[in-house]
Structure 1
Amino acid sequence: MALSSPPPAAARVIRPGGNLLQGARWRSSIDRPLLQGGITRRIFIDLPLVAAGLLLCRAAYADTMAPHYRGLERLPFKKEGYNFWKWKTHRIHYVVEGQGAPVLLVHGFGASAFHWRYNIPELAKYFKVYAMDLLGFGLSDKALVEYDPFLWREQVAAFAREVVQEPVVLVGNSIGGFTVLHTASVYPELVSGVVLLNSSGQFESELKEKKAKPVVEETALRRLINPIQEWGRRWLVFLTFWQAKQPSRIRSVLQNVYKDNENVDDYLVESIVLPTKDPNAAEVYYRMMSSFMLRPSTLTMDSLLSNLSCPLLLLWGVLDPWVGPGKAEKIRAFYKDTTVVTLEAGHCPHDEAPGEVNKALVEWISAKVSNRA
């Protein structure tokens, strides 16, 4: 079976300026005697008809071309979501498609299951594919809890036990990569393989390079100042969140970390903007920032890789301005059962080069994981 198939014949570009616009000119020539003056005619007849023609052409173009990208089928975006699973008291959104060996896709910071839009339909031709929204992201609950790497590790592990119910290949991008590596290192019985796409996380040597902050003696004056600092920090983070959730800002950030900006489209922007409209979204963002920025985790890549016992695949965008190829080389040097595939992409290779990522995943899982099982 081919990994991807060409888009249907219906997916052809409808060029603006065709018959609809010719119809507008024809209509205006007929109605010309009814109105006096060229400006009046252009305002009330020509311009509305031309605008309608352009909108119809644009709508027709979007309807035929939107579900595909370079021959790859795209997961339809549903504002109401696909499936929901109850974890503790939280409602967790996920997508599932296909049959066969299970694969679980975990997104990065600020993204959601919809970020795997060009991977889910294609991989589902070979595997049973799950993609979940981490708590606080996507269509999952914006729970007012303390956010840290342990929370998401337990969420992924519980999903593997309760929903997947068999050893699964964990695939993660950015902070999702660190989450799946963390899960596999603690719960090896739940995992058959791990795939990291430009994963976050630091080695112990990198943490040691950072200067430790001096311990401030707790005094009465300090206890008085702390609440004021907390109040200022909260409003600064809220202001940052308000700026960060603007569609133009989201598009700008994505264009900075995507090598190919063709996929920085309305679908992607909307999938990120929609969760920010939740009433708890700003508070959740503040709690995440407080946790990860002010109290960075002491977990290191060294410790997690030392406890890993399954095959590891690195799909690395070498043009990533945040996590460069040097990180992939460090991981490969540390963990011997590692396969590395480099891609001419930025921070999100699964969305920038989905065809190459899908192909690499199918080949690696078939060779390293299926045979191992």
Structure 2
Amino acid sequence: MSEASDETQKSGSGMLKKLLWAGVAVGTVAIINAAIFHRTPPLMYRQTGGQAKWLPLPDGDIAYEVAGEGKPLLLLHAIGAGCSAFEWRHVFGPLSETRQVFAPDLLGFGKSDKPKITYTAETYLDLIADFIEQAIGQKTDIIASSLSAAFAVALAHRRPDLVDRLILVCPTGLQALSAPLQPAGKAITTALKLPVLGATLYNLITSRPGLRQYLKLRVYASPEPVDDALVTHFHRAAHQQGGDRVLPYFLGGYLNCNIADALAALPEAPKLLWGAAASETPIAQSEAFLEVRPDAQLVVLNNVGGLPHDEAPEAFLEIVKGWV
């Protein structure tokens, strides 16, 4: 055999070994990613203290909690990794003293089903409408947080028979998360849905250190609420089976919802409640809402971040109870 043939064989053998080791590495990462989800315990406990119920819908079953009597009040949580009705834990009980309060985990979050579907703003508009019709059964007031506040405005405009008064907490829809879907966004979603790459990035973002850092820097104004119990809950909620299915669509812009026209057309202006230290939706963005609806009432809570109902529940309740 010639020296050239020997070199070719050695080169081919070396390439094969590299490919085999690369395959082993990818397989190992995939196993680790899967193990993180499989070993995460389910969210068995009640998140808000209400009666736990389920609503079967075409795309999947929706977990929700309900308590109290009186005119219905629907609480809609923010959209993001680890989000759920848990964010209403401190205000659900007090609000249910005078109202019948509903707090669902939206599709893809918390204890609700997490189907393999394309998640869009329309997915959630249809879901919220179905929930009001089938679980609540009558027109309802809504308190909604962040992107869900944009969904609430859009639905109130589309279905005035379902939605009465609105309270929007650090809402998006005019500046943040309002742009139409772009090709670059589709590419981001496609990349994040790749089995190994997407799961690895998701597990890095939603690791305990990653969540702790994000909650401290981007969600809460004070580090005090970000204790081990809070981080554990977000980590557990983020790693339920299928818990990584919404984030690629969210980051790609599929859930963006521009509410400029809907907000302007509402017969009654919503109430706006903002944390002065909110990072994801800074208080400066409230100006756009007041430009569209100068008749809207804005209340700002100082030294509070993007979840004022969780970070400053007493102040939140004092304001909201005067509105509902």
Q: Structure 1-normalised TM-score? A: 0.66
Q: Quick one: distance in 2 between partners of 1:263 and 1:149?
A: 30
Query: Which residue is equivalent to 1:258?
Result: 220
Structure 1 residues 76, 266: closer, same or farther in 2, change over 3 A?
farther
Q: Quick one: distance in 2 between partners of 1:298 and 1:259?
A: 25
1:15-54 equivalence runs, <5 A: none
2:85 pairs with 113, 116, 120, which one? 113
Contact 1:186 1:307 survives alignment (8 Å): no
Q: Aligned pair 1:249/2:205, yes or no?
A: no
The 3-state SS of whatever aligns with 2:75 is strand
Query: Which residue is equivalent to 1:323?
Result: 281
Q: Quick one: distance in 2 between partners of 1:326 and 1:184?
A: 24
The 3-state SS of whatever aligns with 1:82 is strand
**Of 137-146 and 181-190, the range deviating more from structure 2:** 181-190
The 3-state SS of whatever aligns with 1:95 is strand
Q: Quick one: distance in 2 between partners of 1:190 and 1:332?
A: 24
Q: What amino acid sits opposite 2:300 in the alignment?
A: T
Query: What 5-or-longer segments of structure 2 have no aligned partner?
Result: 1-44
**Of 163-172 and 115-124, the range deviating more from structure 2:** 163-172
- Percent sequence identity over matched residues? 24
Query: Which residue is equivalent to 1:57?
Result: none
| 4+ residue runs over 3 A deviation | 75-79, 229-233, 292-299
Contact 2:119 2:255 survives alignment (8 Å): no
1:169 pairs with 127, 133, 141, which one? 141
Query: Which residue is equivalent to 1:82?
Result: 52
The structure in which a higher percent of residues are helix is 1
- 1:312 Cα shift? 0.6
Query: Which residue is equivalent to 2:266?
Result: 308
1:360 pairs with 309, 319, 322, which one? 319
Q: Quick one: distance in 2 between partners of 1:231 and 1:329?
A: 35
2:71 pairs with 82, 95, 101, which one? 101
Query: Which residue is equivalent to 1:275?
Result: 237
Q: What amino acid sits opposite 2:55 in the alignment?
A: W
Structure 1 residues 296, 152: closer, same or farther in 2, change over 3 A?
closer
Q: Quick one: distance in 2 between partners of 1:103 and 1:78?
A: 14
- 1:294 Cα shift? 3.3
Structure 1 residues 312, 83: closer, same or farther in 2, change over 3 A?
same
Deviations 1:225-284 (A, max 9, x none): x9xx956862433222111222222121111121122222334323322233333233x1
The 3-state SS of whatever aligns with 1:316 is strand
Number of aligned residue pairs: 270
The 3-state SS of whatever aligns with 2:172 is coil
Contact 2:173 2:256 survives alignment (8 Å): no
- 1:178 Cα shift? 1.6
Q: Quick one: distance in 1 between partners of 2:48 and 2:308?
A: 23
Q: What amino acid sits opposite 2:250 in the alignment?
A: F
When Rg is computed on C-alpha atoms for both structures, the one with the higher figure is: 1
- 1:298 Cα shift? 6.8
- 1:142 Cα shift? 0.9
Deviations 1:175-224 (A, max 9, x none): 221221221121111111111111122349x859x9x879xxxxxxxxxx
Q: What amino acid sits opposite 1:166 in the alignment?
A: Q
The 3-state SS of whatever aligns with 1:261 is coil
Q: Quick one: distance in 2 between partners of 1:293 and 1:151?
A: 16
Contact 1:91 1:141 survives alignment (8 Å): yes
Contact 2:48 2:85 survives alignment (8 Å): no
Q: What amino acid sits opposite 1:194 in the alignment?
A: L
Query: What 5-or-longer segments of structure 1 have no aligned partner?
Result: 1-74, 215-225, 366-373
RCO (CA 8 Å, sep 6+): is it higher in 1 or 2? 2
Contact 1:103 1:168 survives alignment (8 Å): yes
Q: Quick one: distance in 1 between partners of 2:228 and 2:141?
A: 30
Query: Which residue is equivalent to 2:292?
Result: 334
Q: What amino acid sits opposite 2:259 in the alignment?
A: M
- 1:346 Cα shift? 0.8
Q: Structure 2-normalised TM-score? A: 0.75
- 1:304 Cα shift? 2.2
2:159 pairs with 187, 196, 201, which one? 187
Query: Which residue is equivalent to 2:5?
Result: none
Q: Quick one: distance in 1 between partners of 2:274 and 2:113?
A: 30
